[in-house]
């Protein structure tokens, strides 16, 4: 179900429909849509329930009503008349009327958007993003919405993120976001161009430690400079996102499973003990268990949790693949997720400032396995996806 289908159903009853906030901004900038859309209508929840099958009511803090669809989740804000901006920041006051396709800018953010669309956002205007907090904003809402803005539209320097994170601590606390809000946030961050920026804002503001302690503990993981010159476990994890490739070339949207695997691949290190030459012995197995519990707590579906367990538990395997007997790992190699595991390995290695010789050898070993397995030597995976 697309925005056109929703609009036609509401317009037939004389009701309005607008995209607002991130959804309207993405449309103006020509960016690929997030997995979730924020819309505003003057229809009430009774009308929505009558118009669409499967409407549910997620409650305050998220939306008045929601529609879950495979391609996209829709979150409705019901208003009786023109309402003040809903987001924490004036930047999120931007809307688009679906009937007229006109954008509406009640808070005067067009200059910033024009700079963004031209790809020329400078240090100066960045401060304007964070100004004008609405009176209803609380610490949780402002931190989460600020994180999404940082991940999607970028803040080049760490100073604005640090300053904003500190200022958010002064806001009223508000009600903690429920698991659904956290799922929306996490998935939206991870498919965006710079999840590291959004996650850093959440960390500085204290939300990572409070809501996602499994991730916060990565800051306690000390790495040797020889193997991880980029820093501790948290810094290493943030660095991995910089090496992802877009799903479609030159389109800023990224694979959610790969990104979630990167986020969680080392969460077992804080629990792991040193054993011989292994400073974090069995951290992959421990991490898989921790990732399972983390994702289950946030309410992700069982199929996704199973896939992420595979990625986290086996993220050390590709490094050893060239020297392992293939017959001992056929089940793992046969998984349709193995190409994603190789991509995770590439990002992991790249973030450590290593060369990619190990990755190329592992890719060649995997290609050899596919060639032998496939009748007539047919390649089941295009090498261009690996290199």
Q: Where are the alpha helices (DSSP H) in the chain?
A: 3-11, 22-29, 45-51, 110-117, 123-130, 139-153, 158-168, 179-190, 195-204, 207-211, 213-216, 233-240, 256-264, 283-297, 302-313, 317-320, 330-333, 338-351, 357-373
pLDDT tens digits for range 220-233? 888 666 665 666 89
Distance CA 338, CA 333 (A): 6
Output the pTM of the full model: 0.90
Domain extent for 174: 137-211
Inform me whether the pLDDT recorded for 79 exceeds 80. yes
Domain boundary among 176, 211, 246: 211
124 — pLDDT class (breaks 50, 70, 90): very low
Tokens of 33: 């849509």
| 312-354 residue pLDDT tens | 999 999 999 988 887 778 888 899 999 999 999 999 999 887 7
Looking at residue 95, which CATH number applies to its domain? 3.30.460.10
Query: Exposure string (b/e) for 53-72, b if CB count within 10 Å is 16 or more?
Result: eebeebeeebbbbbbeeeee
* Residue where a domain terminates, one of 182, 211, 240: 211
The pLDDT of residue 155 is 58
How many domains would you assign to the chain? 3
104 and 144 inside one domain:
no
Do 220 and 368 share a structural domain? yes
User: Is residue 378 helix, strand or coil?
Assistant: coil
Token pair for residue 299? 């309410």
Going by the DSSP 8-state scheme, the letter that residue 102 receives in this structure is -
The pLDDT score that the predictor gives to residue 115 is: 78
On whether the CB atoms of residues 45 and 58 are closer than 8 A, the answer is no
Q: Please say whether the beta carbons of 244 and 251 come within 8 A.
A: no
- H or E stretch at 273: strand 273-275
Q: Are residues 239 and 384 in the same domain?
A: yes
Same domain, 181 and 284: no
Same domain, 201 and 221: no
Q: State mean pLDDT over 42-51.
A: 95
Strands 36-41 and 73-78: parallel
Tokens read off for 135: 């009176």
Indicate whether 205 and 218 sit together in one domain. no
């Amino acid at each position: 179900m697309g925005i056109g289908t929703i609009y036609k159903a509401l317009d037939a009853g004389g009701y309005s429909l607008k995209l607002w906030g991130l959804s309207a901004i993405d449309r103006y900038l020509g960016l690929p849509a997030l997995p979730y859309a924020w819309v505003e209508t003057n229809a009430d929840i009774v009308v929505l329930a009558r118009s669409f099958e499967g409407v549910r009511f997620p409650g305050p803090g998220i939306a008045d009503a929601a529609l879950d669809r495979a391609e996209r989740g829709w979150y409705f804000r019901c208003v009786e008349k023109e309402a003040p901006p809903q987001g924490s920041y004036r930047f999120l006051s931007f809307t688009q009327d679906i009937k007229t396709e006109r954008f509406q800018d009640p808070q005067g953010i067009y200059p910033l958007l024009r700079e963004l669309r031209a790809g020329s956002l400078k240090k100066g205007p960045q401060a304007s993003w964070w100004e004008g907090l609405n009176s209803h904003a609380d610490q949780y809402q402002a931190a989460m919405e600020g994180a999404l803005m940082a991940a999607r539209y970028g803040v080049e320097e760490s100073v604005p993120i640090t300053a904003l994170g500190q200022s958010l601590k002064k806001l009223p606390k508000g009600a903690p976001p429920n698991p659904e809000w956290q799922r929306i946030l996490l998935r939206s961050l991870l498919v965006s161009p710079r999840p590291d920026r959004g996650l850093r804002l959440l960390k500085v503001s204290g939300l990572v430690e409070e809501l996602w302690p499994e991730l916060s503990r990565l800051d306690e993981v000390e790495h040797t400079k020889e193997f991880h010159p980029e820093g501790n476990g948290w810094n290493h994890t943030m660095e991995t996102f910089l090496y992802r490739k877009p799903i479609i070339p030159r389109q800023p949207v990224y694979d959610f499973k790969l990104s979630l695997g990167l986020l969680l691949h080392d969460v077992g290190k804080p629990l792991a003990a040193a054993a011989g030459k292994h400073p974090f012995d069995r951290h992959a197995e421990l991490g898989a268990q921790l990732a399972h519990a983390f994702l289950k707590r946030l309410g992700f579906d069982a199929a996704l949790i199973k896939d992420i367990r595979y990625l986290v538990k086996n993220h050390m395997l590709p490094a050893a693949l060239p020297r392992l007997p293939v017959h001992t790992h056929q089940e793992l190699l046969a998984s349709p997720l193995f190409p994603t595991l190789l991509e995770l390995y590439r990002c992991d290695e790249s973030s450590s400032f290593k060369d990619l010789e190990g990755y190329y050898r592992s890719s060649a070993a995997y290609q050899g396995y596919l060639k032998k397995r496939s009748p007539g030597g047919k390649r089941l995976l295009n090498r261009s996806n690996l290199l």
